[in-house]
Amino acid sequence: MAGNGRKAHKDAGGTNPVLRKPDGMVGPDLPEGLLSKNRSWNPHVVDWYDQFRMSPQASLIRSDPMWMALQVAFIELDEMIYTGRYGSMGPEVRQMFAQFGWTPASLRAMRFDVPEADDLSASENGETGAMIDFEDFRRRQGAVG
């Protein structure tokens, strides 16, 4: 069908833009007082939120309303864990997290990629496989974010 714009959205190489890991934690902390029965956040949920704030996907969140929508997703996740309603709340939680690139599949659907270390590529001195020196490893690690 003409005019669907797919060709226009691809860059010259035909690959998806690569998200970069931020320098440190970005975005607000999880707010207190929003959970049902005035309870505290599940420690796993807090850890997952903090991990997201340090991930390449955090660079997709660019405004306060977007952070609020992400926090609603974490409220739903916390509620699902607290109540044990995995069957009824799981699809909703999965859908909410897909909007933020939580999984490789959702990132592909959003047409983004995250950097990956290429440990199997040839090293600078022409050998393959294992790293030869630690400084070479650190240079490569820094190159992928």
Per-residue pLDDT of 53-109, as tens digits, reads: 999 999 889 899 999 999 999 999 999 999 999 999 999 999 999 999 888 888 888
Percent of the chain whose pLDDT exceeds 90? 46
How many other C-beta atoms lie within 10 A of the C-beta of residue 29?
12
Token reading at 107: 């990132």
CB within 8 A of 92, min separation 6: which ones?
A: 76
Q: How far apart are CA 13 and CA 16, in angstroms?
A: 9
pTM, entire model = 0.67
| Number of H-type helices and E-type strands within the chain | 6, 0
pLDDT of residue 131: 43
Percent of the chain whose pLDDT exceeds 70? 73
Q: Which of these, 75, 45, 41, 71, lies nearest to 58 by C-alpha position?
A: 71
Q: How far apart are CA 145 and CA 54, in angstroms?
A: 11
Q: How far apart are CA 67 and CA 69, in angstroms?
A: 5
CB 97 within 8 A of CB 89: no
Token reading at 40: 């505290």
Checking if the pLDDT of 133 tops 80, the result is no
pLDDT of residue 9: 46
